[in-house]
Structure 1
Amino acid sequence: MKLQGKMFGGLAVFILAAAVVYGFWSKEAVGTTALILAFCMCTMIGFYLAFTARRADNGPQDRENADIADDAGEVGFFSPHSWQPLMLAAGGSLAFLGIIFGWWLLFFGLPVILMGVWGWVFEYYHGENRTQ
């Protein structure tokens, strides 16, 4: 995690330099604010990763003599055939189209988003743990 912390730190320095140059050159407040917020986010993530790297063991990415195969293994569980991301994408599309065409369309998108989130969260609750 040390490497990722350093990467986010370098990205934060670059974004800060871009924000300063952009702010002086364009005199535009919204873009400068967005870049400063991106700098803050990168700094926060970099600090978290660097702080956590002190407590955790060194991973293969932190060793110079590591091979790619050293980082192999199970990453996690991913649902192989879930339809819920499609429902979330459709609901999100409706909601963002509501920002463009009219806020009334947002009221059709929010229930679709909520159904997608509900379905995704409770997708694997079947059997004895299932509520009636």
Structure 2
Amino acid sequence: MKEQGKIFAGLSVFVLAIAITYMVWTMKSDHGLEAAGTTALFLAFGLCAFIGFYLAFTAKRVDTGAGDNPEAQVSDDAGEVGFFAPHSWQPLSLAIGGALAFMGVIFGWWLLFWSIPIILIGLFGWVFEFYRGENQNQ
């Protein structure tokens, strides 16, 4: 995690340099400061810095992983990745509801009337998936 934190810290410095260059460059143009791109680049800097700080902060509290050892082999990082649901229909419900919601932005806000219940059904179903039915924890 230390190496990943360093990568994101370096990326944040690079994005900050690009954001400042972009801001200065657009201020010298005939149209003045281009606010959308400048804001997006500074937000990208903030996100990279946030992730880099988190990874560096977390690296102090966890054991050294294979990614931090220059002598490590790929197989050293093998093992259990985590627990994943065996099958679930809830992501499909969220995808359909999200697609309808984004189409509501294009075609009319009235589509949100239909998409919000579908999104809520998918969201609550996914959150409480292991509290009921065949996947219920005993």
TM-score, scaled relative to structure 2: 0.86
Which of 56, 71, 80 is matched with 2:62 structurally?
A: 56
Aligned to 1:36: 42
Residue 85 of structure 2 is aligned to residue 79 of structure 1: yes
Displacement of 1:109 in angstroms is 0.9
SS where residue 96 of structure 1 aligns? helix
Matched, 1:115 2:115: no
Superposed CA deviations along residues 53-111 of structure 1, whole A, max 9, x for unmatched, are 12222110000000111111111111121111111000000111111111111121111
> Matches of residues 85-96 of structure 1 in structure 2 within 5 Å?
85-96=91-102
Partner of 2:75: 69
Q: Specify the SS of the correspondent of 1:120.
A: helix
Q: What one-letter code is carried by the residue in structure 2 that aligns with 1:69?
A: S
CA-CA distance at 1:21 after TM superposition: 2.2
CA distance in 1, matches of 2:58, 2:87: 34
SS in 2 for 1:111: helix
Runs of 5+ consecutive residues of structure 2 not aligned to the other structure = 27-32
Counterpart amino acid of 1:66? A
Tell me, in whole angstroms, the C-alpha distance in 2 between the residues paired with 1:56 and 1:77.
20
Which residue number corresponds to residue 23 of structure 1?
23
1:24: how far off?
2.3
Offset of residue 18 of structure 1 = 1.8
Supply the distance in 2 between the matched residues of 1:19 and 1:107 (Cα, whole angstroms). 39
- Runs (4+) of structure 1 exceeding 4 A deviation are none
Q: 2: distance between equivalents of 1:18 and 1:111? A: 42
Identity among equivalent positions (%) equals 65
Superposition TM-score, scaled by structure 1 size: 0.90
2 CA distance for matches of 1:122 and 1:53? Answer: 31
Give secondary structure in 1 for the equivalent of 2:129.
coil
Gaps of 5+ in 1: none
